[in-house]
Each structure stands twice: as C-alpha cells, then as structure tokens.
C-alpha cells in the first residue's frame, strides 16, 4: 500500500475545521492576452499557517473514500468564492474545479451542483469540471452517464492532463468534452526538439479540429509561451503568468486586469490548415458523390462534409472572432470577400455533384474553386507572416 504523509483522521479534522481552501490560478486567453478563466486548486491551510499541497492528502482521501465528502463540503466554498469575484468577471469567464473518479461515479453530484447554483444565483456556465484522463481508463457506464448529466446541466467538461498517454482518443468524440488541457510535460518538452514541438502542435490541431478549446498547462518561460502561441492553442496557465493564489490575492490580480497580449499568429496558421483541409474534403466528397452510385455511400459522404456555411466553418469561426486590433482592415475585408466566394463555389460544386452533371462541368467548378482558394491562401499567408514579424518585434 502507498505511504501517505498525513493520516486520514487529520484530513477529516481539517475538513471539519474548515482548513481546506481553494487557491486560484489564472488561465490566460491566447486570443485576447487577458485572464479568461481560473482553476480552483485545493490547499490545506494548517493552524500554524503552513500549506499542504493536494498531492500530500488528496491521494489518501481518494484511496479511503473521503474524497466525496471533501468535494461535497468544498463545492459550497467554491460557489461562495465565485460569488465574491463575479462582479469583476467577463460574462464568459469560468472557474474550473477538479473532480476525482469517485466524484464522477457519485450519482448525487449533479444534484449538489444544481442546489449550489440555485442557492448562489450562479449560472452553470461559470463552472468547468476538470476530469483527469486517468478517470477515463476505464470509464464505466455510470461515470459516462454522470458526465453527460453535468454537461446537460450546462457545466463545461475539461479533460485534464491530456498527454496522449492514458486517454483513448475516442473519449474525445464520445463524451461531451469541450476543453482539452494539455499536460505540463507536453508543454514543457515542446522547446526541446523538433518532434516534441510537432507533438504539441498536432495535439492542439487535433483539439481545434474537434472544436475543443485547448489550455496548455505548466508554462514557465517566455519561450514556451511563444511556441504555444504559434500552435494556435487558445489558452494557457502556468507559473510564467501566476502561481495559484489565495482568494484575496486572486481578486487583486483580477482588479489589476493584467494583459499578456501577443499577436495570435498561431490561429492564422490553423486557419490555413483548416482551409487546405476544407478544399480537399469538399473536392473529395463531391467526387465521391459524383462517382458512387451507392446511396448509402453518398449519404456518408454528406455526413463527412465540412460546414458549407461561411460563418460556421472552422475558418469562418476564426474570422468572426478575430482580434481586429492586430490586422489591417483592408486585408481582412479582402480575406472575407474571398472566403464568401469560396463558399459560394463550394456550394455550386456540391449541387452539381448531387445532380450528376457531367464530369467536364464538375472539373471546371473544381478549377474555379482552386483558383479562388489559392488567392485566399496567399492573402492568409501574408497576414500570417506579418503576424510572426509583429510577435517577434524588437522591444
């Protein structure tokens, strides 16, 4: 049996004496450079003012089944804390809380959340449940059902410590996960070698393609921050920005509204990849539909089709959330125009393929689509290079 630095009875006493508190670590948006969320991290503040980290008592509490009591006692504390800083928050600011495997298999968890939201007048969208990937190995039906319950309530679900190690990737599409938290070891290895950096970049890209936000944990240096920005990762947390802080200090930080604003040129890189994929996907599925007489294969091709609406395709979403402070208005207007035309041509191609027009007509539409796509890529790449130059501008 594992050795633990504290005794169970002491943790029980700490719980009764309200010695367990939350510290808050800010999460920084890599789009705006501002604090966009926070993670609540439990601390044991002893009578003598010394602080014990969760690693020193949470594993024993989990092993002995005390974790459910801790979570139940601490959720009201979390809500009370959130209430104190809610007036300072942007509408989409949220606070993450870590849940253990036994919390997830506890059927009363969603009822407790419900009660706390209504008693404190807090919207469920203000809270994100962080579940580490270990919990998913294996995740029983009850656990999965409870995760769906929390998500249906409006609570965001984050997959914590994702490192492509434990997680079965299918969890990313089978469960209602909206945030992927990349483990510290992935973030901190990224500057070391070409392949370590590529691993980070591809995990961010994977999350992006599945419509998940990514938060990279454990950023300690400017170099890691720069590399992360270049991947298109959406948010980050780490000692480079701030250590986890006691409630009062966290409130002071929020009041100061610090900004780590940087040109988000990684998102422009992702927009290029999205566009290349979109063009290939649309041409492939149009030809699948045109050449395949099997109605089921044609139906599947339609289901795989990227979003034809220019506002909701991946690139359109990027464009609609763009931070205009960074870009020349004329460049963006041109990009928007080309993007709209590109979508018009895509729709024409799909319609021609479904109506079984001749292959010559289909090929002509593909050529037109390619032509406009190349112009769009050219424009996007220019914006992106200016972005990198701006990001690395000399002080």
Residues that bind ligand C2E (CB under 6 A): 25, 41-42, 53-55, 58, 67, 98-100, 130, 132, 160-161, 184, 217-220, 237-239, 244
Provide, rounded to whole angstroms, the least separation between the CB of residue 236 and ligand C2E.
9
Q: Could you say which DSSP state residue 259 is in?
A: B
Say if CB 369 and CB 349 are below 8 A apart: yes
Provide, rounded to whole angstroms, the least separation between the CB of residue 41 and Mg ion.
7
Choices 61-69, 161-169, 369-377, 387-395 (CB under 5 A): range interacting with Mg ion: 161-169
Q: How far apart are CA 8 and CA 351, in angstroms?
A: 67
133 in contact with Mg ion (CB under 5 A): no
Q: What angle do CA 126, 130, 131 make, to 5 degrees?
A: 150
Provide, rounded to whole angstroms, the least separation between the CB of residue 216 and ligand C2E.
10
Q: Which does 58 bind (CB under 5 to 8 A by kind): Mg ion, ligand C2E, none?
A: ligand C2E
Which CB, 130 or 262, lies closer to Mg ion? 130
238: left (phi over 0), alpha (psi -120 to 50) or beta: left
Q: How many CB atoms lie within 10 A of CB 35?
A: 27
Closest CA to 134 of 107, 97, 156, 165: 165
Which CB, 67 or 353, lies closer to ligand C2E? 67
Q: Which does 232 bind (CB under 5 to 8 A by kind): Mg ion, ligand C2E, none?
A: none
Residues 6 or more apart in contact with residue 281 via CB below 8 angstroms = 304, 305, 306
Choices 76-84, 96-104, 190-198, 225-233 (CB under 5 A): range interacting with Mg ion: 96-104
116 in contact with Mg ion (CB under 5 A): no
Figure out which of the listed residues 133, 161, 224, 262 binds Mg ion, where binding follows CB under 5 A.
161
268 in contact with Mg ion (CB under 5 A): no
Which CB, 183 or 271, lies closer to ligand C2E? 183
Q: Which does 53 bind (CB under 5 to 8 A by kind): Mg ion, ligand C2E, none?
A: ligand C2E
Q: How many CB atoms lie within 10 A of CB 141?
A: 7
Q: Which residue is closest to Mg ion by CB?
A: 130
Provide, rounded to whole angstroms, the least separation between the CB of residue 132 and ligand C2E.
6
Which CB, 128 or 380, lies closer to Mg ion? 128
Say if CB 83 and CB 120 are below 8 A apart: yes
CA distances from 117 to 22, 44, 126, 275 (A): 18, 25, 10, 41
Closest CA to 74 of 49, 100, 51: 100
Dihedral sign for Cα atoms in the order 156, 179, 273, 277: negative
Provide, rounded to whole angstroms, the least separation between the CB of residue 309 and Mg ion.
35
CA distances from 228 to 65, 159, 258, 302, 306 (A): 38, 19, 19, 34, 27
Which CB, 185 or 364, lies closer to ligand C2E? 185
**For Mg ion, what does the binding mask look like between residues 180 and 219, x meaning CB under 5 A?**
-------------------------------------x--
The maximal CA–CA distance of the chain, rounded, in angstroms, is 82
Which CB, 116 or 274, lies closer to ligand C2E? 116
Provide, rounded to whole angstroms, the least separation between the CB of residue 312 and ligand C2E.
32
Say if CB 303 and CB 266 are below 8 A apart: no
Q: Which does 158 bind (CB under 5 to 8 A by kind): Mg ion, ligand C2E, none?
A: none
Provide, rounded to whole angstroms, the least separation between the CB of residue 218 and ligand C2E.
4
Task: Enumerate binding residues for Mg ion (CB under 5 A).
Answer: 98, 130, 160-161, 217
């Amino acid at each position: 049996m594992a050795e633990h630095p504290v005794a169970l009875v002491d943790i029980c006493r700490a719980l009764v004496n309200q010695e367990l508190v939350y510290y808050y670590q800010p999460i920084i948006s890599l789009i705006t450079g501002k604090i966009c969320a926070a993670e609540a991290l439990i601390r044991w503040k002893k009578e003598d003012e010394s602080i014990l980290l969760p690693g020193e008592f949470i594993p024993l509490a989990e092993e002995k089944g005390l974790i459910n009591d801790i979570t139940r006692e601490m959720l009201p504390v979390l809500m009370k804390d959130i209430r104190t800083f809610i007036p300072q928050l942007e509408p989409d600011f949220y606070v993450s809380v870590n849940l253990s495997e036994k919390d997830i298999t506890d059927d009363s968890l969603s009822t407790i959340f419900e009660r706390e939201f209504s008693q404190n007048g807090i919207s469920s969208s203000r809270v994100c449940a962080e579940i580490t990937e270990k919990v998913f190995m294996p995740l029983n039906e009850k656990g999965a059902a409870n995760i769906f319950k929390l998500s249906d309530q409006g609570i965001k679900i984050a997959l914590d410590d994702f490192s492509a190690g434990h997680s079965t990737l299918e969890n990313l599409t089978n469960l209602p996960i909206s945030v992927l938290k990349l483990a510290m070891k992935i973030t901190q290895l990224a500057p070391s070698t070409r392949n370590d950096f590529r691993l980070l970049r591809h995990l961010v890209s994977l999350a992006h393609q599945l419509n998940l936000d990514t938060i990279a944990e454990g950023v300690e240096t400017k170099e890691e921050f720069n590399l992360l920005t270049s991947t298109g990762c959406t948010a980050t947390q780490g000692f480079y920005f701030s250590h986890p802080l006691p409630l009062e200090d966290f409130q002071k930080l929020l009041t100061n509204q610090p900004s780590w604003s940087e040109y988000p040129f990684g998102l422009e890189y992702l927009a290029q990849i999205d566009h290349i994929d979109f063009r290939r996907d649309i041409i492939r599925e149009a030809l699948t539909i045109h050449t395949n007489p099997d109605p089921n294969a044609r139906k599947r091709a339609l289901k795989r089709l990227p979003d034809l609406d220019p506002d909701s395709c991946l690139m359109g979403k990027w464009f609609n959330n763009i931070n205009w402070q960074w870009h020349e208005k004329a460049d963006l207007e041109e990009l928007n125009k080309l993007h709209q035309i590109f979508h018009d041509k895509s729709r024409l191609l799909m319609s021609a393929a479904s109506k079984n027009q001749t292959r010559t007509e289909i090929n002509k539409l593909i050529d037109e689509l390619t032509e406009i796509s190349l112009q769009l890529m050219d424009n996007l790449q220019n914006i992106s290079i200016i972005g990198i130059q701006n990001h690395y501008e000399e002080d």
